[in-house]
Amino acid sequence: MADFNVNVREVGVVNIIELKGYLDAHTAPELESAFNKLIDDNNYKVVVNFDELNYISSAGLGVFMAYVETMRENKGDIKFTNMKENVYNIFDLLGFPMLYEFFKDEKEAVDKFEDKSNDQ
Amino acid sequence: MSLPFANVKRSRKLENTIFASIILFAYQMIFVERDSVLMILFNDALVFGAGYFWYLYLSEFVNKKINSPLTVILNAGILNAVLFFSIAISSTFVEGSQFQALKGNFIFLMFSIFVLFVFICVIGYIFSTFKGLTFLRQKTESSKYFNTLITFLIIASFTKTIVLLDSDLEFVHNTFFVVTILLIAINSIKVSWIAFLVKKQKIYLLIIAVVLSVLFGLNYALFLEESIIVTALNHFSPAFTTFISLIMIYGAIYFGIIFFTALFHLPTAEAFDRKAEEVTTLMDLTKLITRVFDFKELAETITTITTKICNSDSAWLVTKNDDKFELNSVFNIGYVEAEKITNYVLTKFNYKIDEVLTLDNSSIKVEIKNDIRTFNFRSLGVAPLRVHNRTNGFLFVARKKEMAFDDDDNKAIGAFGDYAAVALENALLIEENIEKERLEKELDVAREVQKKILPNVTPQFENLNVESLFIPAFEVGGDYYDFFELPKDKLGFVIADVSGKGIQAAFIMAEVKGIFESLSKLIESPKELLIKANEILKESLEKKSFVTAVYGVVNLNTGVVNFSRVGHNSVMICRDSVVEHFTPPGIGLGLDYGEKFTNTIKELEIKLNYNDIFILYTDGIPESQNANHEEFGYKRFEKVITRNCNKGLRVLSNEIIKEVSTFSKDCSQHDDITLVLFKWKLNNKISGDN
């Protein structure tokens, strides 16, 4: 089985989830538990960094769909950054760019969150 | 070395015995007076022969019971007592010196022959008892000593007869007699079976041994006196009388040694009993492990047994489950108490207990329901449950009073911990296996559902060739395609991919089929149909599930295709050997249930030309991978289409699949593969001319 790794780190009020390897039905529960932990700690502002992710399956996509509502209800969001072209194409085909914010760079996504929190 | 006539059936042995006895009896009757030494020697040989067969026959009974040596010893003792009393009583009635006078009396003759046979019989039994005991639980070869003993017993006996010939030869007999006694002493040391008796039996044996030793001694003493029976026996066979004397000495020595051995074994009897019990329990446990699949049940047995064997007050077993410790079974302690004590001990040692650990004189304070309670333990033992260098739990054993756990207790606790570890591992493996089987059954159901959902036949029309191909993945991937014949010469078609796999995907597929089948008859526009489908799915689709699809309608008269795409792969059209992708905007079903979905979705209208190929597929084709995790991709896909677009649809679809499977030959198929092809066969220009 191809390996998969989730790493969570904090940048100010934002939590960055770094993904590595192959995200599919078998590895999705790892990402789910990372999201659950963030919600338990009341962290709703999430940036997912796809820099080292090579593949995502429909089950992997489903994880974001499952948690985005909770984040948004609590004035947070899930934003995507640093996606490889082949991974982005999958998101694009499904229509994710209509519903989620995508950034080239992690910093842009974090800034976007901070702008908003400053506004409030 | 096997003795002659020893390896025959019991009934045969009995026949031999009776035969030998009859010959002896006949000889006694015929030659009442045996004057020459040769005749006496021959008589001795007959007596020994009969004795030998009696011995062989009686050994059968002794050997059957030899594993409970006390019974055999008791039997031999009773028989010996009978001899003792018969000699003692007979001598009070008749003096040995009166024998010569009575010799001619027929009734007395018969009586003394009867006595002779009784002695042969009893001595045969006692001797076989000695032999059985000597070889009982012997690990090393000891038959050499015993065979030497038998040889000397016989030589010492027969030399007694030879003394009749010349009394100067007395010293020869005496020499053999003494050597035989020495050999008896050597053979009597073989008493290791005593160690295997439990304490109670040892005490019992102690009493029997002292009685028997004395009894055999007294019997020997009686044989030195000239009682009537002894005189009669001596007359019949001097050698046999000597043999009896030697057996009596043997008995006195042997039971004397047994007495002292049992005496010395008494202090260690308890420890030995415990060890033996431990071994038997462990053996029982091994059997249990392979038979009982329920770990809880096993855990209970383990705590109960550990408490008993380690002579402790309570025991409990905790196992690790997803990094949490779970109490599995308690014996003689409350659940809450055991849990608190476990937490206390494990935290104290930072969960790192790699071998058996004992805490002496520990008082543990735990809070139970706002009440601080102190548990005083004389000794508390903890054994880790380790398999493959992983600790899967702990076995706790607590003793409140008396002695602390010693080395033996520690070893026992460790052993039970090991057994619990193996049992736990076993139970988990079985559980995993059951789960695996369940999943396989589930997949079978999912495949069955999928097979029923997909169309059985691909429709064919005059102007439109249709070809479809579906290859399921091992785990049902959730692909679905269908055709709907609509009024006004129109054909509706759909290709969809449900997210997720297995039975869940199969059920969503079934629902999606229902939705498309009914909506296709109600809504003409693909775009409107998909908007409606998204609304319906809102009710049933899980948050993390979605469906991608392309739905369209072909006009079978004009070749005009209207279609919309929601999240699905592009539609390809191959026209004049050039492949073009069509990806009208549209969000996958189930991703958004509001305006965004409705506002985004677009509908395309394309008029097909003669020999145009309209290609629908699922991501199983472009995303199939080879061993290097490279994807098949669109370039290869387009290439194979261009190369074969002038051939029939069947050939084209086969070529595509061939290409994909050659590419991913070293990799298992992850996802379903679905391919639907249309080819417009009406030359519009000609029809236009008409």
Phi, psi (degrees; rounded to nearest 5) at B641: -70, -50
Q: What pLDDT, on the 0 to 100 scale, is given for residue B568? A: 92
Work out the minimum CA distance from B547 to partner chain A, whole angstroms. Answer: 9
Helices B502-522 and B407-453: crossing angle, nearest 10°? 20
The reply to whether B195 and B65 lie within a common domain is yes
Model confidence at B10, pLDDT cuts 50, 70, 90, reads: confident
pLDDT tens digits, residue range B290-347? 777 677 788 888 888 888 888 888 999 998 877 778 888 888 888 888 888 888 888 8
Q: In a 3-state reduction of DSSP, which class is residue B552?
A: strand
Q: In a 3-state reduction of DSSP, which class is residue B67?
A: coil
Q: What pLDDT, on the 0 to 100 scale, is given for residue A117? A: 59
pLDDT over threshold 70, residue A118: no
Is the separation of the CB atoms in B362 and B349 below 8 Å? Answer: no
Segment holding B84, helix H or strand E? helix B69-93
User: What range defines the domain where residue A65 resides?
Assistant: 4-104
Per-chain mean pLDDT for chain B: 86
The phi-psi region of residue B335 (left if phi > 0; otherwise alpha if psi is between -120 and 50; otherwise beta) is alpha
The reply to whether B89 and B130 lie within a common domain is yes
Q: Which of A34-38, B147-151, B629-633 is the least confident region?
A: B629-633
Model confidence at B424, pLDDT cuts 50, 70, 90, reads: confident
Question: Scanning every residue of chain A, which has its alpha carbon at the shortest distance from the alpha carbon of B543?
Answer: A66
The reply to whether B384 and B478 lie within a common domain is no
pLDDT over threshold 50, residue B688: no
Which residue in A8, A10, A29 sits closest to A19, CA to CA? Answer: A8
B137 vs B123: CA distance, rounded Å? 23
Q: In the structure encoding, which two tokens stand for residue B428, read together?
A: 């988990």
Work out the minimum CA distance from A95 to partner chain B, whole angstroms. Answer: 4
pLDDT tens digits, residue range B492-525? 999 999 887 788 888 888 899 999 999 999 999 9
- Judge whether B592 is closer than 8 Å to chain A, CB to CB: yes
The reply to whether B362 and B509 lie within a common domain is no
Q: What pLDDT, on the 0 to 100 scale, is given for residue B88? A: 84
Which residue in B650, B586, B660, B675 sits closest to B623, CA to CA? Answer: B660
pLDDT over threshold 70, residue A46: yes
Is there a domain that residue B77 lies in?
A: yes
CA quadruple B223, B224, B225, B226: dihedral sign: positive
- Judge whether A1 is closer than 8 Å to chain B, CB to CB: no
- Judge whether B548 is closer than 8 Å to chain A, CB to CB: yes
Is there a domain that residue A110 lies in?
A: no
Model confidence at A110, pLDDT cuts 50, 70, 90, reads: confident
Phi, psi (degrees; rounded to nearest 5) at B468: -135, 150
Model confidence at B684, pLDDT cuts 50, 70, 90, reads: low
The reply to whether B176 and B27 lie within a common domain is yes
Residue B112 or B639, more confident:
B639
The reply to whether B241 and B113 lie within a common domain is yes
Pick B586's closest partner by Cβ from A55, A57, A95.
A95
Is there a domain that residue A109 lies in?
A: no
The reply to whether B604 and B655 lie within a common domain is yes
B365 vs B362: CA distance, rounded Å? 10
- Judge whether A52 is closer than 8 Å to chain B, CB to CB: no
Q: What type of residue is B156?
A: A
- Judge whether B511 is closer than 8 Å to chain A, CB to CB: no
Percent of chain B residues topping a pLDDT of 90: 24
pLDDT over threshold 90, residue B616: yes
Q: What pLDDT, on the 0 to 100 scale, is given for residue B687? A: 47
User: What range defines the domain where residue B57 resides?
Assistant: 10-274
Question: Scanning every residue of chain A, which has its alpha carbon at the shortest distance from the alpha carbon of B620?
Answer: A57
Is the separation of the CB atoms in B271 and B202 below 8 Å? Answer: no
Is there a domain that residue B281 lies in?
A: no
Pick A59's closest partner by Cβ from B499, B567, B587.
B499
A94–B587 CB contact, under 8 Å: yes
Is there a domain that residue A116 lies in?
A: no
Count: domains in chain A? 1
Q: What pLDDT, on the 0 to 100 scale, is given for residue A120? A: 47
Count: domains in chain B? 3
Q: Which of A60-69, B136-145, B441-450 is the least confident region?
A: B136-145
CATH number of the domain to which A55 belongs: 3.30.750.24
Is there a domain that residue B413 lies in?
A: yes
Contacts of A95 in chain B (CB under 8 A): 566-567, 585-588, 591-592, 600
CATH number of the domain to which B560 belongs: 3.60.40.10
Q: What pLDDT, on the 0 to 100 scale, is given for residue A2? A: 56
pLDDT tens digits, residue range B529-573? 999 999 998 888 888 889 999 999 999 999 899 999 999 999 999
Work out the minimum CA distance from A45 to partner chain B, whole angstroms. Answer: 19
Burial of residue A10, with CB atoms counted within 10 A of its CB: 0-12 exposed, 13-18 middle, 19 or more buried? exposed
Contacts of A61 in chain B (CB under 8 A): 499, 546
The reply to whether B308 and B189 lie within a common domain is no
Q: What does R_g of chain B's alpha carbons equal in angstroms?
A: 49
Model confidence at B689, pLDDT cuts 50, 70, 90, reads: very low
Residue range A68-93: mean pLDDT, rounded: 89
Residue range B3-15: mean pLDDT, rounded: 84
Contacts of B544 in chain A (CB under 8 A): 59, 62-63, 65-66
Which residue in B520, B613, B519, B603 sits closest to B562, CA to CA? Answer: B603
Model confidence at B253, pLDDT cuts 50, 70, 90, reads: very high
Is there a domain that residue B89 lies in?
A: yes
Model confidence at A116, pLDDT cuts 50, 70, 90, reads: low
B292 vs B538: CA distance, rounded Å? 48
Is there a domain that residue B334 lies in?
A: yes
A61–B501 CB contact, under 8 Å: no
Question: Scanning every residue of chain B, which has its alpha carbon at the shortest distance from the alpha carbon of A94?
Answer: B567
pLDDT over threshold 50, residue B192: yes
pLDDT tens digits, residue range B73-119? 999 999 999 988 888 888 777 776 677 777 777 887 888 888 888 88
